[in-house]
Amino acid sequence: MKSHYMNPYLAGLFLGLVLLFAFFFSGRGLGASGALKRVVIETVGTIAPEHASNSVYFSKYIGPDKGNPLNHWLVYEMLGVVVGGFLSGALAGRLKWKVEHSPGITSKKRLIMALIGGILFGYGSQLGRGCTSGAALTGMAVLSVSGFVTMASIFGTAFLFAYVVRKNWI
């Protein structure tokens, strides 16, 4: 059976070249959670400005000299991801509103699990100073210790924990 996805090695090669392009032009790699963090900062800063400036963590990113937290490299990159993902989905005919889940669970359960997973990942990405793309992939490409540690930690834990949640997937 021919897969309708790109060959993984080819996709990896392409992703690696994108990463290299980012290094060559901007001197930095990819990232995802940083952009989402800035959306949170901007949201909290708009709804409760006082709370945001009192927050030890948020106040690092806001202030008269910092400019808009959304005016950041990663935010523009993430907008690109939305466009790029959409383009690829459109080309491959994969644009469709749906909740993807294993036949063994309901859509509702899948959505709840996705939410919980997102909360955990959001929390972990801030503690670990980056996610799979920002800390693990980019970190490994520049040979930083944190890149290898984060990668091993994410995938190692996920392997160990996979058994616990196997009913959700297989």
Partner 1 sequence: MGPLVPQEIIGEGWNFFIAFIVGIGFGFALEQAGFSSSRKLVGIFYGYDTVVLKVFFSAALVGMLGLLMFSLFDWIDLNLVWVNPTFLWSAIVGGVIMGVGFVVGGFCPGTSVCAAAIGKLDGLMFVGGIFIGIFIFAESFPLVKSLYMAGNFGHLKLSTVLGISQGFLVFLVICAALIMFWIGEAAEKRFAREDITREV
Partner 2 sequence: MKELLQLKPRLLFSIPIFITGLVLALVPENTTQPYKLSAQDMLLEIQSGSEMVTPDDLADWIVNKDPSIQLIDLRTPEEYEQYHLDNAINIPLHDLLSPEWVDYLDQDVKMNIFYSNGITRAHEAWMIVRQLGYDNNYILQGGLNYWVETILNPTAPKNSSPDDEFARYDFRKGAGQALGAGSIQKSNNTSTPKPKIKRRPRKKAPEGGC
> 136-148: string of b/e by CB count within 10 Å (b at 16+)?
bbbbbbeeeebbe
Q: Nearer Cβ to partner 2, position 13 or 111?
A: 13
Q: Can residue 70 be called a binding residue for partner 1 (CB under 8 A)?
A: no
Nearest to 36 by CA among 148, 151, 125, 107: 125
Q: How many residues line the site for partner 2 (CB under 8 A)?
A: 23
The option from partner 2, partner 1, none interacting with 46 (CB < 5 to 8 A, set by class) reads none
Interface pick for partner 2 out of 1, 4, 24, 27 (rule CB under 8 A):
27
Which residues touch 4 (CB under 8 Å, ≥6 apart)? 92
Give residue 97's region: left, alpha or beta (phi > 0; psi -120 to 50): beta
Which residues 100-129 are close enough to bind partner 1 by CB under 8 A?
A: 100-102, 110-111, 113-129
The residue ranges that bind partner 2 (CB under 8 A) are: 7-10, 12-13, 27-29, 31-34, 37, 73-74, 125, 129-131, 134-135, 138
